[in-house]
Structure 1
Amino acid sequence: MNTDPMGQMGHGGHGATADFATLWSPGLLLILIVIGWLYGMAVNRWRHRFAESEPVSIKHQMYFYIGLLLYYIAEGSPLSYYGHHYSFSTHMFQQSLLYLVMPPVLLLSIPGWLLRPLFRGPKANRIMHALTSPLLSLFVFNMVFSFYHIPMIMDTLMANPLLHEVYNTVFLLAAFQMWFPVFCPLPEYSRMTELKKMAYIFVNGILLTPACALIIFAGEPMYANYESVSEQFLFMSLLNDQQLGGVIMKIVQEIVYGMTLAYVFFRWYRRERQEEEEEDLQNESFAHSSVHANRA
């Protein structure tokens, strides 16, 4: 049996050789390049066209391009093809990039003044307030994540490209919804203090754990999509590949959530220190004013 990892191994109805377009998605790459160009123009040359616009630092602009690169690696590179057809662990790494790493990077890069024109009007405001509710965001993302990894659902999606694309779109939107309350680019929709954000991230980690644990501690392969893959091709058993996928997702989640907790904590700490320093300066100024007044 030919076990070429780039699509020549006949399994699961995918025996045809994958061509360059399938492996590298040049159409998606072109779209992302155009999006990157439009973003660069919007935050630089066209910035004066937006109300209350402010300069966007080079660091935050780089976050946007890093986010686009992460999206392309996850969806446009051979990682996507290989994960879909051959390796569950690769598929879980792809999902980790798409839903845990890429959304916060992009949210950090987008200034509020660039998004605000999209949500003008009372109806848009009501919809945004409802969708960005922290409780709803927690529930939707973790429900979508858990449902996806139910074997019957995942096997059905993997066998139906259209359904899979629809579910992936919902999954991606749910990921942005989940991260939005933490890295909110629009202050008017920010409802949580830093301490509440830290609790929110902690609860997210708890809710994500059961699905990962079921995959890690399963006693047999769960997904029919990968059952015909040669274990020689994987360099491990199907069960070990499946368990590795759960471990990868959990490790990436721990790293990303840990970094987010640190980011939120230090923002909170700096803000508290700044407020204390401003209060000390006000007290000193008041004390000097009182001394001068007494001398007069």
Structure 2
Amino acid sequence: MWGIFAKAPFNDLWQPEIIVVSIVLQVLYLTLAHGKLAYRLYGRRHMATTRQTVSFIVGCWLMYFSFAGPLDYLSDNYLYSAHMVQHMLEITMMTPLILKGLPEGFYRTLWHLPGFGKIVRIWAHPLVAGAVFNIVLSGFHSPYLYNLALENENFHLFEHVVFFIISAFMWGPLLIRIEGVKELTSGQKLLYLLYNYNLGMPIAILQLMSGVPWYSFYVTAPRLIPWLTPLGDMQLGSILMLVFMGGAFLITGIRQYLGQSESIWYE
């Protein structure tokens, strides 16, 4: 199996353009959030804490190693389950890290932006954010759109951008605090986590119960693991989806439970 990486074209395996994007994002962040330019724009030399800065940088490097390297090569050419790991890393780890790295002023500006701010406020409502996330995510895992993403690089890039945006809005009620905007209580956040997990289950359950593989691209792909059939690969991917999402939501829920006193849960 590992021999395929040695034979892979350098550009296909390591995606130099993605590392360029990752580095550019980090440079922009550091330039705008720290130093002389930040002071000129905002009157402060540091718009983000050290913890926020580390979070953003780690998120950018996770983006690179999710969308390039061996994992991306496997997902683009051989295994649906590898593609699912890629999507889950983007949704459950990369996006929250980047969100936590951005300063509060960024979100406040979006929230109050003339015209566009109204769309943001509607979309950011927990019921809307959760529904949009799960409906769009499930739609992109339909056979037609998924095969299209694998066959068309531009559409594949569009898919990843969409996943980042919808997952950012989905995580927003849990991770983002904006001065003057009412935050969900701890109890409401737990209900929101259950709401999201339940909405995301149908697509995974349908794949687990299916008797035939959905994605023609992976049916015709070379078999790297002889005993892992295209159907088994799809079912493994659906299990990974449930585990990643469930694990991320469980960890978030435990943090909410442990971090709050019982007296404020329903205030």
Q: Distance in 2 between matches of 1:152 and 1:208?
A: 19
Alignment-derived partner of residue 28 in structure 1: 18
Deviation of 1:111 (Å): 1.4
Deviation of 1:191 (Å): 4.3
Q: Distance in 2 between matches of 1:67 and 1:151?
A: 29
1:6, 1:78 within 8 Å by CA — same for their partners in 2?
A: yes
Bigger shift: residues 191-200 or 85-94: 191-200
Deviation of 1:190 (Å): 4.7
**Equivalent of residue 202 in structure 2, options 206, 210, 214:** 210
User: Can you give the 5+ residue segments of structure 2 that lack an aligned partner in the other structure?
Assistant: none
**Equivalent of residue 40 in structure 1, options 26, 30, 36:** 30
Alignment-derived partner of residue 90 in structure 2: 98
Give CA deviations for 1:13-42 in whole Å, capped at 9, x if unaligned.
xxxxx4212211112212211221222233
**Equivalent of residue 64 in structure 1, options 53, 56, 59:** 56
Deviation of 1:50 (Å): 1.8
1:140, 1:174 within 8 Å by CA — same for their partners in 2?
A: yes
1:50, 1:114 within 8 Å by CA — same for their partners in 2?
A: no
Matched length = 264
Q: Distance in 2 between matches of 1:229 and 1:125?
A: 45
Deviation of 1:170 (Å): 1.9
1:51, 1:113 within 8 Å by CA — same for their partners in 2?
A: no
2:110, 2:120 within 8 Å by CA — same for their partners in 1?
A: no
Q: Distance in 2 between matches of 1:21 and 1:63?
A: 28
Deviation of 1:54 (Å): 6.4
Give CA deviations for 1:97-119 in whole Å, capped at 9, x if unaligned.
01122111111121112444455
Give CA deviations for 1:111-133 in whole Å, capped at 9, x if unaligned.
11244445554323322212211
Q: Distance in 2 between matches of 1:138 and 1:232?
A: 36
User: Can you give the 5+ residue segments of structure 1 that lack an aligned partner in the other structure?
Assistant: 9-17, 276-296
> Could you say what secondary structure the match of 1:220 adopts?
coil
Q: Distance in 2 between matches of 1:51 and 1:124?
A: 26
The answer to whether the aligner puts 1:5 opposite 2:4 as a matched pair is yes
The structure that has the greater radius of gyration is 1
Normalising by structure 1, we get a TM-score of: 0.79
Alignment-derived partner of residue 73 in structure 2: 81
Normalising by structure 2, we get a TM-score of: 0.86
2:38, 2:44 within 8 Å by CA — same for their partners in 1?
A: no
Q: Give the residue type in structure 1 aligned to 2:4.
A: P
Q: Give the residue type in structure 2 aligned to 1:28.
A: I
CA RMSD across the alignment = 2.8
